[in-house]
Amino acid sequence: MITQNDAVNQLPPEIRPAFEELKVLKHLRKAGITKRFGFTCSYLFQLVFVLIFHYRNWFELLESENSESLPGKDAVYRFLNHSGFACRRFLSNLSVYAVNKTNSLTSSKRVSAFIVDDSMYERNRSKSVELLARFKDHARNCYYKGYRMLTFG
Protein backbone atom coordinates (compact mmCIF):
# COMPACT_ATOMS: atom_id res chain seq x y z
CA MET A 1 0.00 0.00 0.00
CA ILE A 2 2.68 2.51 1.01
CA THR A 3 6.32 2.23 0.08
CA GLN A 4 9.14 3.46 2.28
CA ASN A 5 11.62 4.18 -0.52
CA ASP A 6 9.61 6.79 -2.37
CA ALA A 7 7.72 9.05 0.01
CA VAL A 8 5.95 10.85 -2.85
CA ASN A 9 4.27 7.66 -4.08
CA GLN A 10 2.31 7.14 -0.90
CA LEU A 11 -0.19 9.89 -1.76
CA PRO A 12 -3.05 8.80 -4.01
CA PRO A 13 -2.89 10.38 -7.48
CA GLU A 14 -6.07 12.36 -6.74
CA ILE A 15 -4.54 14.05 -3.68
CA ARG A 16 -0.96 14.63 -4.84
CA PRO A 17 -1.81 17.74 -6.97
CA ALA A 18 -3.62 19.34 -4.00
CA PHE A 19 -0.63 18.69 -1.72
CA GLU A 20 1.69 20.25 -4.30
CA GLU A 21 -0.61 23.21 -5.05
CA LEU A 22 -1.10 24.07 -1.36
CA LYS A 23 2.55 23.31 -0.53
CA VAL A 24 1.51 21.34 2.56
CA LEU A 25 4.97 19.92 3.25
CA LYS A 26 6.55 23.38 2.98
CA HIS A 27 4.13 24.64 5.63
CA LEU A 28 5.09 21.70 7.86
CA ARG A 29 8.75 22.74 7.72
CA LYS A 30 7.87 26.43 8.10
CA ALA A 31 5.95 25.63 11.32
CA GLY A 32 9.02 23.93 12.73
CA ILE A 33 7.64 20.40 12.49
CA THR A 34 10.89 18.54 11.86
CA LYS A 35 12.74 15.53 13.21
CA ARG A 36 16.43 14.86 13.68
CA PHE A 37 16.52 11.16 12.82
CA GLY A 38 14.32 8.30 11.69
CA PHE A 39 11.42 8.74 9.34
CA THR A 40 10.88 12.31 8.19
CA CYS A 41 7.93 14.36 9.37
CA SER A 42 6.67 14.71 5.81
CA TYR A 43 6.65 10.92 5.42
CA LEU A 44 4.82 10.37 8.72
CA PHE A 45 2.32 13.17 8.00
CA GLN A 46 1.50 11.75 4.56
CA LEU A 47 1.24 8.24 6.00
CA VAL A 48 -1.31 9.30 8.62
CA PHE A 49 -3.14 11.55 6.15
CA VAL A 50 -3.56 8.74 3.61
CA LEU A 51 -5.06 6.26 6.07
CA ILE A 52 -8.55 7.75 5.85
CA PHE A 53 -8.59 7.42 2.07
CA HIS A 54 -7.77 3.72 2.34
CA TYR A 55 -10.53 3.21 4.95
CA ARG A 56 -8.03 1.73 7.38
CA ASN A 57 -6.74 2.55 10.81
CA TRP A 58 -3.16 2.32 12.02
CA PHE A 59 -3.68 -1.07 13.67
CA GLU A 60 -5.00 -2.64 10.44
CA LEU A 61 -2.08 -1.21 8.50
CA LEU A 62 0.43 -2.71 10.94
CA GLU A 63 -1.29 -6.11 10.60
CA SER A 64 -1.06 -6.02 6.79
CA GLU A 65 1.63 -7.74 4.74
CA ASN A 66 3.39 -4.42 3.99
CA SER A 67 3.96 -3.66 7.66
CA GLU A 68 7.69 -4.49 7.48
CA SER A 69 8.45 -1.35 5.47
CA LEU A 70 6.39 0.93 7.75
CA PRO A 71 7.54 2.75 10.87
CA GLY A 72 6.57 1.29 14.21
CA LYS A 73 3.47 2.49 15.98
CA ASP A 74 5.56 4.20 18.65
CA ALA A 75 7.19 6.45 16.00
CA VAL A 76 3.79 7.48 14.63
CA TYR A 77 2.27 8.10 18.04
CA ARG A 78 5.30 10.12 19.14
CA PHE A 79 4.91 12.20 15.97
CA LEU A 80 1.19 12.78 16.60
CA ASN A 81 1.57 13.56 20.30
CA HIS A 82 4.73 15.67 20.15
CA SER A 83 4.11 18.74 22.29
CA GLY A 84 6.89 20.76 20.65
CA PHE A 85 5.29 20.84 17.21
CA ALA A 86 3.43 24.06 16.39
CA CYS A 87 0.30 22.50 14.92
CA ARG A 88 -1.69 25.73 15.16
CA ARG A 89 1.01 27.60 13.27
CA PHE A 90 0.95 24.90 10.59
CA LEU A 91 -2.84 25.11 10.26
CA SER A 92 -2.76 28.91 10.25
CA ASN A 93 -0.05 29.08 7.58
CA LEU A 94 -1.85 26.52 5.45
CA SER A 95 -5.21 28.29 5.88
CA VAL A 96 -3.82 31.71 5.00
CA TYR A 97 -2.11 30.28 1.93
CA ALA A 98 -5.29 28.48 0.82
CA VAL A 99 -7.44 31.59 1.34
CA ASN A 100 -4.97 33.76 -0.60
CA LYS A 101 -4.88 31.16 -3.36
CA THR A 102 -8.67 31.07 -3.71
CA ASN A 103 -9.15 34.80 -3.11
CA SER A 104 -7.98 35.63 -6.61
CA LEU A 105 -10.65 33.32 -8.06
CA THR A 106 -13.58 35.34 -6.69
CA SER A 107 -14.75 38.87 -7.36
CA SER A 108 -13.83 41.62 -4.91
CA LYS A 109 -17.52 42.62 -4.81
CA ARG A 110 -18.50 39.23 -3.44
CA VAL A 111 -19.02 38.89 0.30
CA SER A 112 -16.62 36.45 1.96
CA ALA A 113 -17.35 34.47 5.09
CA PHE A 114 -15.76 31.71 7.13
CA ILE A 115 -18.03 28.87 8.17
CA VAL A 116 -17.14 26.85 11.25
CA ASP A 117 -19.08 23.66 11.93
CA ASP A 118 -18.51 21.11 14.67
CA SER A 119 -20.70 18.28 13.47
CA MET A 120 -20.95 15.01 15.28
CA TYR A 121 -19.84 11.70 13.87
CA GLU A 122 -21.54 8.92 15.81
CA ARG A 123 -19.86 5.56 16.42
CA ASN A 124 -22.28 4.10 19.00
CA ARG A 125 -21.63 0.55 17.81
CA SER A 126 -17.92 0.82 18.64
CA LYS A 127 -16.29 -0.13 21.92
CA SER A 128 -12.57 0.50 21.65
CA VAL A 129 -11.69 2.70 18.72
CA GLU A 130 -8.76 5.10 18.65
CA LEU A 131 -9.66 8.55 20.02
CA LEU A 132 -13.31 7.57 20.56
CA ALA A 133 -15.03 9.81 23.13
CA ARG A 134 -18.42 10.36 24.73
CA PHE A 135 -20.18 13.60 23.75
CA LYS A 136 -23.44 15.30 24.62
CA ASP A 137 -25.77 16.26 21.81
CA HIS A 138 -27.49 19.39 23.11
CA ALA A 139 -30.06 19.39 20.31
CA ARG A 140 -31.42 15.92 21.20
CA ASN A 141 -30.36 16.13 24.86
CA CYS A 142 -28.62 12.75 24.84
CA TYR A 143 -25.10 11.31 24.89
CA TYR A 144 -23.39 9.47 22.08
CA LYS A 145 -20.04 7.82 21.41
CA GLY A 146 -18.08 9.14 18.49
CA TYR A 147 -16.08 12.10 17.26
CA ARG A 148 -16.52 15.84 16.84
CA MET A 149 -15.63 16.90 13.31
CA LEU A 150 -14.45 20.49 13.24
CA THR A 151 -14.91 21.80 9.72
CA PHE A 152 -13.66 25.21 8.69
CA GLY A 153 -14.73 26.46 5.30
Element of type H or E holding 119 = strand 116-122
pLDDT tens-digit series, residues 55-99: 677 777 777 776 677 777 778 778 877 777 888 888 888 888 988
Calculate the average pLDDT of the chain.
Answer: 78
In terms of Cβ atoms closer than 10 Å to its own Cβ (0-12, 13-18, 19+), residue 97 is: middle
pLDDT of 1 reads 53
Is residue 152's pLDDT more than 80?
no
pLDDT of 8 reads 45
Distance CA 88, CA 144 (A): 28
Is residue 4's pLDDT more than 60?
no
CA 138, 141, 147, 149: dihedral to nearest 10 degrees? -30
Distance CA 150, CA 21 (A): 23
50 vs 7, residue with greater confidence:
50
Most confident listed range (10-24, 71-85, 90-104, 115-129): 90-104
Task: For residues 99-128, give the mean pLDDT.
Answer: 80
pLDDT tens-digit series, residues 106-119: 787 888 777 888 78
Task: For residues 129-138, give the mean pLDDT.
Answer: 80
